[in-house]
Amino acid sequence: MVPQLSWYLALSAVLFTIGVVGVMIKRNVIAMFMCIELMLNAVNLTFVSFSSFFRDTTGQLFVFIVMTVAAAEAAVGLGIIIAIFRNRESLDVDDESTLKL
Amino acid sequence: MLALLFILFAGLAVGCAISMVVQRNPLYSAISLIGVFISLACLYVTLAAPFIAAVQVIVYAGAIMVLVVFVIMLLNVEEEDRAPLRLRSLVPISVGLAAVLFAETAFIIFFVHQSPATPASGLSDVGLTASIGAGLFTTYLLPFEITSILLLMAVVGAMTLARSGGLLPGKALVVPGYQVLAQEILDPSTTPDLAPIVERSSTEIEHELGVTGEPNTNDGN
């Protein structure tokens, strides 16, 4: 039995949902950041599966660019997290609900 | 065979993802996320996309997660404690919305016609490095170049954000996007030890150094 396209799409949807739930229920900034990475990966799985099932390379190029954006986001996001921690000594988003210092 | 592999790695990915959300220690969450990345890379291999699988392991499981784990250890994050639930009145609404979402998903799974497409076989060159490189440098050259600019901006932005001011004196006024003003670094009014700049004419300097500014006319003799 060969895996169908819908299997991969269902898996991607499940992973994306888990990521969304994580962003909503987590209060640690770093944990929320990792849940965002999980959502990006779920979308990447969708791209790759469509690319493979319809024999078009474009989807994998999209994945390549998404990975680059994710790397840039990781660098800047972790920089912001370090700056926040330096100012407030906390990583709880409830403590950081105002942007004011 | 492929179906077995799919079930194995899909189960691994979902299990690691749930573990990531459930764990309260961020370090355990990070390790679970690495598990998700690696099982997704294996799924990419079953989808005949070896290049993306390799990049997934190198960039995600390697670079990004090393950065995340480094920050977790640098900040010494402790386990988050359980806080009381807020907005308790919204719980019934959320249960209702979740039921609607499940109903929609079940409808799509059972009633929508499934695509007869099959995954690319080994004969296809869709996922190979050569075809990806050809696409990246011909049709999608402009996004590729924009990506490089994005990475450059990310490098500069991350350095600006994470710097603690150790490179500059405390008095220096740093405005993001502007150069540091020179007079802020070296303000003569606040540093009285600086010797005043003495202005001397060139003849005085010649006298001090013992040389004469006159051209030597005795060369021929």
Q: pLDDT at position B186, please? A: 55
pLDDT surpasses 50 at B153: yes
- Residue ranges of domains in chain B: 1-78, 140-185
Q: Is B120's CB within 8 Å of A55's CB?
A: yes
Domain count, chain A: 1
Q: How confident is the model at residue B115 (pLDDT cuts 50, 70, 90)?
A: low
Residue A27's domain spans which residues?
Answer: 5-88
Asked whether residue A82 is domain-assigned, the answer is yes
Do the Cβ atoms of A75 and B67 come closer than 8 Å? yes
CATH class belonging to B1-78: mainly alpha
Most confident of B48-52, B85-89, B196-200: B48-52
Spacing of C-alpha B30 from chain mean position: 16
CATH number, domain at A76? 1.10.287.3510
What chain A residue is nearest to B143 in terms of C-alpha separation? A65
pTM of the predicted protein model? 0.75
Asked whether residue A9 is domain-assigned, the answer is yes
pLDDT surpasses 70 at B35: yes
Q: pLDDT at position B185, please? A: 54
Q: Kindly report the three-state secondary structure assignment for every residue of chain A.
A: CCCCHHHHHHHHHHHHHHHHHHHHHCCEHHHHHHHHHHHHHHHHHHHHHHHHHCCCCHHHHHHHHHHHHHHHHHHHHHHHHHHHHHHHCCCECCCCCCCCC
Mean pLDDT confidence for B43-49: 91
Average pLDDT of the residues of chain B: 79
Mutate: best of B5, B9, B16, B40, partner A, most A CBs <10 A: B40
Q: How confident is the model at residue B110 (pLDDT cuts 50, 70, 90)?
A: confident
pLDDT surpasses 70 at B56: yes
Q: Which of residues 34-63 of A touch B (CB under 8 A)?
A: 34-35, 37-38, 41, 44-45, 48-49, 51-58, 60-61, 63
Q: pLDDT at position B193, please? A: 56
Over pLDDT 70: what percentage of chain B? 70
Q: pLDDT at position B172, please? A: 54
Q: How confident is the model at residue A61 (pLDDT cuts 50, 70, 90)?
A: very high
Q: pLDDT at position B55, please? A: 92
Q: Is the dihedral of CA B197, B201, B204, B205 positive or negative?
A: positive
pLDDT surpasses 50 at B221: no
